[in-house]
């Protein structure tokens, strides 16, 4: 029997200040659209990938996502090299990758075509022969940005999938659990396998909400490479879920409802606010920052003080010099303190 003990997902070793800059789905989308759960509906299928004995599952997921993104945008699925992505990993020469490392590579470099750097049915790569012109071709397929999803909210995941947007999802599990339809069997605290697969669709499976995945290590899935994973397994074993949006050449972030337009000057009523807060006061801050030009006008005012809002607050503080350079460097916009509060109230009474 082939081994199921995958360890291609590595731990996120970034410092906390960098993790706080990650965009989250909750800050991007105020309310997700309702999805219709159905049994026996046709499941989306894309070209199968095979990582063989390598630790490239995260890069394989990233490559497939770039291919699907291009299919959604221009009607053509492009076969991207996983090795081109994997060779750029931050923890090289160690094996495996973490999500944000892969996303940042897809954001900065995109991915070279598979025909130039083969990456299927091959062992762990030592290095790749990447020419300058290949790097320029790869940039055509770059993503604009990415966001993380809550790992316990299958409805939010399905709402993203309903828009045709694939998901990068990581699972920590025990080998005895990993089948065509994984089932919880072990109760130990630490699972031994860590693997990345690509979410492509959603369905009802034996009366349970479930997501449909494509796996680059298709053990027990036959030629399809597809798995169906139910909500209970996802809530227990999923450790990361995220998606990309806005390819450089035209696609946009999926929105469940129209963005909030701020056409008239608002009054600031937010008071003092902290990173992570969710409230109408934060929504008011976002509307004020939209009107002032720091917060993206096309972005919904969700009321969650996350990375996008922190970036906007920092821009405001720099623009009006309401904090010292030392304070700006230390806080990174993660706080509306007394000085910023006073300035906002004066400019937006």
CB within 8 A of 41, min separation 6: which ones?
203
Task: Please tell me the predicted confidence (pLDDT) of residue 253.
Answer: 47
DSSP symbol at 34: P
Tokens of 104: 């940042």
The radius of gyration of the chain from alpha carbons, rounded to an integer in Å, stands at 21
Phi then psi dihedrals of residue 92, to 5 deg: -55, 135
Cβ contact 85:102 at 8 Å? yes
DSSP letter for each residue of 90-146 = TTTTSS-B-HHHHHHHHHHT---BTTTS--SS----S-----HHHHHHHGGG--SEE
Task: Please tell me the predicted confidence (pLDDT) of residue 186.
Answer: 73
Residue 40 CB neighbours (<10 A): 8
The torsion defined by the Cα of 54, 148, 66 and 32, in degrees rounded to 10, comes to 140
The angle that helices 99-108 and 57-74 make with each other, rounded to 10 degrees, is: 40
The angle that helices 338-347 and 307-320 make with each other, rounded to 10 degrees, is: 70
pLDDT (tens place) for every residue of the chain, 349 residues total: 344 556 899 888 888 888 888 888 888 887 777 789 998 888 999 999 999 888 999 999 999 999 999 998 889 999 999 999 999 999 999 999 999 999 999 999 999 999 999 999 999 998 888 888 888 989 999 998 899 999 999 999 999 999 899 999 999 998 889 888 999 987 666 678 899 999 999 999 999 999 999 999 877 566 678 999 999 999 999 999 999 976 443 334 444 444 567 778 999 999 999 999 999 999 999 999 999 999 988 788 999 999 999 999 999 999 999 988 888 888 899 999 999 999 999 999 9
The whole-model pTM stands at 0.85
The torsion defined by the Cα of 119, 237, 156 and 254, in degrees rounded to 10, comes to -20
The rounded distance, in Å, linking the Cα atoms of 204 and 228 is: 10
Query: Structural domains in the chain?
Result: 16-21+43-245 (3.90.70.10), 273-347 (1.10.101.10)
CB within 8 A of 266, min separation 6: which ones?
284, 287, 288, 291, 348
DSSP symbol at 151: T
């Amino acid at each position: 029997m082939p081994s199921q003990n995958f360890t291609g997902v590595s731990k996120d070793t970034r410092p906390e200040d960098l993790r706080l800059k990650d965009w989250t789905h909750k800050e991007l989308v105020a309310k997700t659209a309702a999805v219709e759960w159905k049994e026996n509906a046709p499941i989306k299928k894309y070209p199968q990938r095979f990582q063989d004995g390598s630790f490239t599952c995260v890069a394989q997921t990233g490559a497939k996502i770039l291919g699907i993104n291009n299919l959604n945008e221009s009607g053509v699925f492009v076969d991207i090299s996983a090795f081109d992505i994997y060779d750029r990993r931050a923890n090289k020469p160690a094996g495996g990758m973490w999500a944000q490392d892969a996303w940042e590579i897809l954001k900065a470099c995109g991915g070279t075509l598979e025909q130039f750097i083969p990456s299927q049915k091959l062992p762990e790569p030592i290095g790749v022969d990447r020419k300058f012109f290949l790097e320029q071709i790869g940039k055509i397929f770059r993503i604009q940005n990415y966001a993380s999803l809550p790992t316990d909210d299958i409805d939010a995941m399905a709402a993203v999938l309903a828009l045709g947007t694939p998901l990068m999802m990581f699972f920590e599990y025990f080998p005895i659990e990993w089948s065509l339809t994984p089932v919880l069997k072990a109760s130990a605290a630490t699972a031994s396998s860590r693997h990345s697969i690509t979410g492509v669709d959603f369905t009802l499976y034996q009366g349970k909400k479930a997501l449909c995945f494509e796996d680059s290590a298709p053990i027990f899935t036959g030629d399809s490479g597809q798995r169906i994973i139910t909500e209970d397994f996802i809530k227990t074993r999923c450790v990361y879920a995220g998606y990309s949006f806005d390819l450089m050449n035209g696609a946009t972030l999926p929105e469940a409802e129209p963005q909030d337009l701020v056409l008239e000057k608002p009054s600031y009523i937010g008071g003092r606010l902290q990173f992570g807060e969710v409230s109408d006061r934060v929504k008011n801050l976002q509307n004020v920052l939209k009107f002032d030009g720091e917060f993206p006008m096309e972005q919904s005012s969700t009321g969650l003080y996350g990375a996008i809002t922190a970036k906007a607050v920092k821009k405001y503080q720099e623009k009006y010099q309401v904090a010292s350079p030392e304070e700006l460097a230390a806080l990174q916009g993660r706080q509306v303190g007394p000085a910023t509060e006073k300035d906002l109230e004066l400019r937006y009474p």
